[in-house]
Structure 1
Amino acid sequence: MVNLRAYWRFLVVARQFLPLLLAYARDRRRYLVIGSRRQVDEATQIDRAERLLDSLLKLGPTFIKLGQLLSTRPDVLPPAYIDVLSSLQDDVPPADWAEAKQVLEAEVGPVEDAFAEFDTDPISGASLGQVYKATVNGDDVAVKVRRPGVEDLVEADLRVIRWSLPILLYFVGDAQAFSLENLADEFAKTIREEMDYEREARMLEEIKLNFAESDEIRIPAVVDSHSGPRVLTMEYLPGTKINDVDALDEKGIDRERVAETLQRAYLQMIIDDGVFHADPHPGNLAVLDDGAIVFYDFGMSGRVNEFVQEKIVEFYVAVANQDIDAILDSLVAIGTLSPEANRDVMGDVMELAIADARGEDIEQYRVQQIIGQIEDSIYEFPFRLPPNLALVLRVATVVEGVCVTLDPSFDFIETATTYLTEQGYREETARQFIADAGDQVQDAARSLVRVPPKLEDTLDTAQRGNLTVQVELGDDKGVIDKLARRLVSGLVFGFSLLSTAYLYAGGDYYATAVSGVIGLAGAFFLWRSFRSKKGIRASPQFTRQEMKKRRGND
């Protein structure tokens, strides 16, 4: 049944996306398979992004979620698309109560027996589930019920996405192909986890425990007796929506303090705890009258392993110290930046990003200058987004937007610096740096002792005429072969040109014609080698496949 539905959905999806895909393909090659790249202005990109947004909304829950994920992936889509898709809200009309009631009663039994009161009008609706208000044992609760029939629809759509991926990869560049393959796997994993309410309950309780001693963070308690794989019942904690600044001001709540609390909470979750709430849009955050922040909806939540935590700390410390080289080193180490990147250009980009994060005025000519450097110096922009960082990036961008809404002068770097200093991370990083430097000095000293005797032996061998040097040149990309072909073609063309002139002067017209044809052939092959897009040029080196190959060779 799912297969049959998937085939039908594939046709529906193809009808929606094919015009956009063809337009994108024509941007890469004017005549689809041949021709130069077209220049597409921002207005055209915005128009296409709006058509993409409309298509995602028409295709329903799975593609709404996909659009939300794409809005956090600058390694997949241009900035104009990101801006348009960022407005995509997971807000759809609620399912019919009769259908939702069947799901609810299959999990917790008859509604009249399980709940003292139950309001059948949902207080919020989303693509995968909807939330109702009810009463259990005299306490108000929020009951989250999975949308009826959504499992089959999602599974069919995930198959469609898998079937469509090879087609998409044909039309995009290497950088986007790397990110799209990761994105498809990540999306399937994320949306299945979001439909598993038992997993959500476990993540919620773990994060709640991590903030048990905080008076500034409130997380609803789970009512286990009324929860299951498709139903999650929680403590009802109403508050003021975090981006409703007028209501917050009326209640006398310090918005600057709320912004700082929110940022510090996410720093703790990502850096210290290793488990975090990954969907911090304003609909999932509220503020109580005492200024405490309430978190809702833990369907999107993630974990960070120790290695990633360590590298994130190194990155934050480098940003706090405004150490550009250390920032680039940490990005390379974590797999976000290609080791082949032009460090001078990327250093300028990082300086600009830090200035923007601090809210400093940036002169337009400086922006244009850096953009020009990027276009002139980088074959393909060297950023990648490994799967283990996708949710972290989503959190960082969305949280910063919420904080700036609360406090337009919010300085993320200052808040992060203060937090890192209080937790001792900056001192720890400095100690580690000194220890590493000490090890390097010791290694250098040992080398100074070992090298002179070895150098003397080598020079003695060379003096006796017994020194043999074996050079092994690796050329897995065929660069030398291409150079040799060009050299031979050039020699053939040059020699034939002289021969043709000599034979023509001697009156041997038949030999002149043969020599001329040979010369033209040499000229043609020489011209084609320089026109070919597969000639000698830089290519992205930092892909997951390439890294695996390198590790295997090592």
Structure 2
Amino acid sequence: MRGPHNILRLIRTGATFERTGAMNVVLEAFNAPPSLRVAARILGWPFKWLGYKGDPNLPPATRALTALGPAYIKFGQILSTRPDVVGDDLALQLRVLQDKLPPFPTAVAKAMVARELDTPVDELFSDFSEPVAAASIAQVHKAHLATTGEPVAVKVLRPKIEQAFQRDIDAFYFAAKLIETLAPSARRLRPMDVIEHFEGVVMGELDLRLETASAAEFAANTAGDEGFRVPEVKWFLSSRRVMTLEWVEGIPAGNITEIEAAGHDREKLGEMVLKTFLNHALRDGYFHADMHQGNLKIAPDGALVALDFGIMGRIDEYTRRVYAEILIGFIRKDYRRVAEVHFEAGYVPPDRDVDEFARALRAVGEPIFGMDASRISMGRLLSYLFEVTERFGMETRTELILLQRTMVVVEGVSRSLNPHINIWSAARPIVERYIAENIGPKALVRDLVKTARVLSRFGPRLPELAEAALTREAQRAEARPEPAPARKGLYLAAGAALAAAGFVLGRLI
């Protein structure tokens, strides 16, 4: 039965894109081949009258996705983080997508809270407000704990939102398969992978236990950060469809008039937004990936308060070191070193010319450094950098794309607070401190200690593992020419060294 339903959804989608004028925008953004353009017109133009009108004040693509509902809005928001897929122009349009929707009744929210927490709402909270915010997936209520009177924010999923999203995701998969069939050249955009990525992100947001865990991890990482705060998680009042956090008073970061009236230092706040983000990305490898004005408050004491932890970014330790070396290389205008880092990390194929690559990087960096300080952009630098590295054969790295997209958003927030901020001056001490602590002699010693600890855990088993590895090598060698005596000796020496290391480390650590 899903086939006909998916076709009907596809027709309604095509009709809405035609009616709002978004069809041409999307087809051009994806550089769609003729066969796909014809199919899109067939699915859209004859049924144009069935499409939604949408808000005429919005750009075409944003207008269409907003009219089609929550799953399409969320899909557009996620695609805005992938300019490598949709192109820079369309990604820019999609970044302004707002998922504010009419709230559902408070009585329904209370019933869900009672069912999820297995306790009547009146026993949990002394009061429970009407919705204070309503988005595509959930809405938020302010309440007070019945036991202590502490104010809390209660986030509740929309009724039957999981089923609604699943139906639309099925239709997205159907459309992706159709695109791959009609336009084999579009497979380079990996439409099925894009939908799979979307499904993974959305399914995570539809389970509020995961967002609660993200908030708790983020709070633990940033507990010692002066001037930055994450609301406390109330685990005993959280479940799959309900999340409860400490309620934090504050001024939305986008309300400049109120921020000034409250006497907050806008220049300091602008720098703080940028520095805290870089600290989280480099120091922790775990950062808020949706850090726009709506998800930031300025507390009465001037601290930044982060909200909404549905989209978080994570980068491993090695990638952080590479990223930091690239940034510091650009800051110091050491383009040769930036080029070498790309080759050392394997980002650029080894058969490319490092000097040519360094020359291309200079062409990226110098124009940006020649700008007025208030126009220098780290996000723009990373965007240009990805263009150059793609020409030199670097494969797309999703985690860096998300980092770059978030960097653009963070810079926008910083500049809205402090229009004259010098991004490089603010970033330099953070990057240099990370470099000093994580690249060089101190880092080498720390890495060796960490390696020794790992080896020590396998110490008693190292002789057995070495013997197994040598046995497998001997079996494979039967089909190859006999290795030279020196090579045999190398294998034996390696096995003996591993065994000895395991024995010694097992005793010392």
User: Following the alignment from structure 1 to structure 2, what is the Cα–Cα distance between the partners of residues 239 and 428?
Assistant: 36
Question: Could you say what secondary structure the match of 2:213 adopts?
Answer: helix
User: Following the alignment from structure 1 to structure 2, what is the Cα–Cα distance between the partners of residues 175 and 413?
Assistant: 38
User: Following the alignment from structure 2 to structure 1, what is the Cα–Cα distance between the partners of residues 274 and 330?
Assistant: 16
2:15 corresponds in structure 1 to: 15
Contact 2:348 2:389 survives alignment (8 Å): no
1:474 corresponds in structure 2 to: none
Contact 2:32 2:186 survives alignment (8 Å): no
Deviations along 1:31-66, one digit per CA (max 9) or x if unpaired, are 9799xxxxxxxxxxxx9x932222111111111111
2:28 corresponds in structure 1 to: 24
Report deviation, 1:233: 0.8
TM normalised by structure 1 equals 0.65
Out of 266, 279, 289, the residue aligned to residue 268 of structure 1 is 279
Q: Which amino acid aligns with 2:239?
A: G
Q: Which amino acid aligns with 2:404?
A: L
User: Structure 1 residues 409, 189: CA separation in 2 closer, same or farther (over 3 Å shift)?
Assistant: same
User: Structure 1 residues 301, 335: CA separation in 2 closer, same or farther (over 3 Å shift)?
Assistant: farther
Question: Could you say what secondary structure the match of 2:85 adopts?
Answer: coil
Q: Say yes or no: does 1:112 pair with 2:122.
A: yes
Q: Which amino acid aligns with 2:28?
A: Y
Q: Say yes or no: does 1:210 pair with 2:221.
A: yes
User: Structure 1 residues 161, 383: CA separation in 2 closer, same or farther (over 3 Å shift)?
Assistant: farther
Q: Which amino acid aligns with 1:124?
A: A
Q: Which amino acid aligns with 1:115?
A: F
Report deviation, 1:240: 0.7
Of structures 1 and 2, the larger Rg is shown by: 1
Report deviation, 1:259: 1.8
1:420 corresponds in structure 2 to: 431
User: Following the alignment from structure 1 to structure 2, what is the Cα–Cα distance between the partners of residues 310 and 197?
Assistant: 32
User: Following the alignment from structure 1 to structure 2, what is the Cα–Cα distance between the partners of residues 21 and 418?
Assistant: 42
User: Following the alignment from structure 1 to structure 2, what is the Cα–Cα distance between the partners of residues 426 and 155?
Assistant: 47
User: Following the alignment from structure 1 to structure 2, what is the Cα–Cα distance between the partners of residues 68 and 103?
Assistant: 27
User: Following the alignment from structure 2 to structure 1, what is the Cα–Cα distance between the partners of residues 303 and 59?
Assistant: 37
Q: Say yes or no: does 1:60 pair with 2:69.
A: yes
User: Following the alignment from structure 1 to structure 2, what is the Cα–Cα distance between the partners of residues 271 and 390?
Assistant: 15
User: Structure 1 residues 356, 285: CA separation in 2 closer, same or farther (over 3 Å shift)?
Assistant: farther
Q: Say yes or no: does 1:127 pair with 2:131.
A: no
* Pairing 1:156-171 to 2, within 5 Å after superposition: 156-169=167-180
Of 200-209 and 76-85, the range deviating more from structure 2: 76-85
* Pairing 1:83-482 to 2, within 5 Å after superposition: 83-108=92-117, 109-120=119-130, 122-136=131-145, 137-169=148-180, 177-178=188-189, 180-330=191-341, 343=357, 344-355=359-370, 358-359=373-374, 385-423=396-434, 425-426=435-436, 429=439
Tell me how large the CA RMSD over aligned residues is. Answer: 3.8
Deviations along 1:328-358, one digit per CA (max 9) or x if unpaired, are 4445666776776963445412433455594
User: Following the alignment from structure 2 to structure 1, what is the Cα–Cα distance between the partners of residues 241 and 347?
Assistant: 36
Deviations along 1:128-187, one digit per CA (max 9) or x if unpaired, are 111000110301110000111110111122222222223445788969834645433322
Deviations along 1:422-449, one digit per CA (max 9) or x if unpaired, are 34x14754669999xxxxxxxxxxxxxx
User: Following the alignment from structure 1 to structure 2, what is the Cα–Cα distance between the partners of residues 101 and 333?
Assistant: 56
Q: Which amino acid aligns with 2:122?
A: E
User: Following the alignment from structure 1 to structure 2, what is the Cα–Cα distance between the partners of residues 220 and 208?
Assistant: 8
Question: Could you say what secondary structure the match of 2:83 adopts?
Answer: coil
Q: Percent identity?
A: 28
**Count of residue correspondences:** 410
User: Following the alignment from structure 2 to structure 1, what is the Cα–Cα distance between the partners of residues 240 and 261?
Assistant: 40
Q: Say yes or no: does 1:72 pair with 2:81.
A: yes
Report deviation, 1:74: 2.2
Contact 2:173 2:192 survives alignment (8 Å): no
User: Structure 1 residues 97, 242: CA separation in 2 closer, same or farther (over 3 Å shift)?
Assistant: same
Contact 2:348 2:392 survives alignment (8 Å): no
User: Structure 1 residues 319, 426: CA separation in 2 closer, same or farther (over 3 Å shift)?
Assistant: farther
Q: Which amino acid aligns with 2:123?
A: D
Question: Could you say what secondary structure the match of 1:75 adopts?
Answer: helix
Unaligned runs of 5+ in 1: 35-46, 363-370, 436-554
Report deviation, 1:73: 2.4
Question: Could you say what secondary structure the match of 1:314 adopts?
Answer: helix
Deviations along 1:281-317, one digit per CA (max 9) or x if unpaired, are 1111001122100011111123222222222222222
Report deviation, 1:235: 0.5
User: Following the alignment from structure 1 to structure 2, what is the Cα–Cα distance between the partners of residues 206 and 298?
Assistant: 10
Question: Could you say what secondary structure the match of 1:116 adopts?
Answer: strand
Unaligned runs of 5+ in 2: 39-55, 378-383, 446-509
Report deviation, 1:378: 11
User: Following the alignment from structure 2 to structure 1, what is the Cα–Cα distance between the partners of residues 199 and 173?
Assistant: 10
User: Following the alignment from structure 1 to structure 2, what is the Cα–Cα distance between the partners of residues 332 and 166?
Assistant: 36
User: Following the alignment from structure 1 to structure 2, what is the Cα–Cα distance between the partners of residues 69 and 354?
Assistant: 31
User: Structure 1 residues 388, 138: CA separation in 2 closer, same or farther (over 3 Å shift)?
Assistant: same
Deviations along 1:447-467, one digit per CA (max 9) or x if unpaired, are xxxxxxxxxxxxxxxxxxxxx
User: Structure 1 residues 330, 61: CA separation in 2 closer, same or farther (over 3 Å shift)?
Assistant: farther
User: Following the alignment from structure 1 to structure 2, what is the Cα–Cα distance between the partners of residues 337 and 147?
Assistant: 45
User: Following the alignment from structure 1 to structure 2, what is the Cα–Cα distance between the partners of residues 356 and 147?
Assistant: 47
Report deviation, 1:3: 7.4
Contact 1:324 1:351 survives alignment (8 Å): no
Deviations along 1:475-501, one digit per CA (max 9) or x if unpaired, are xxxxxxxxxxxxxxxxxxxxxxxxxxx
Q: Which amino acid aligns with 2:12?
A: V
Deviations along 1:355-388, one digit per CA (max 9) or x if unpaired, are 55944599xxxxxxxx9xx99x999796753223
Report deviation, 1:17: 4.5
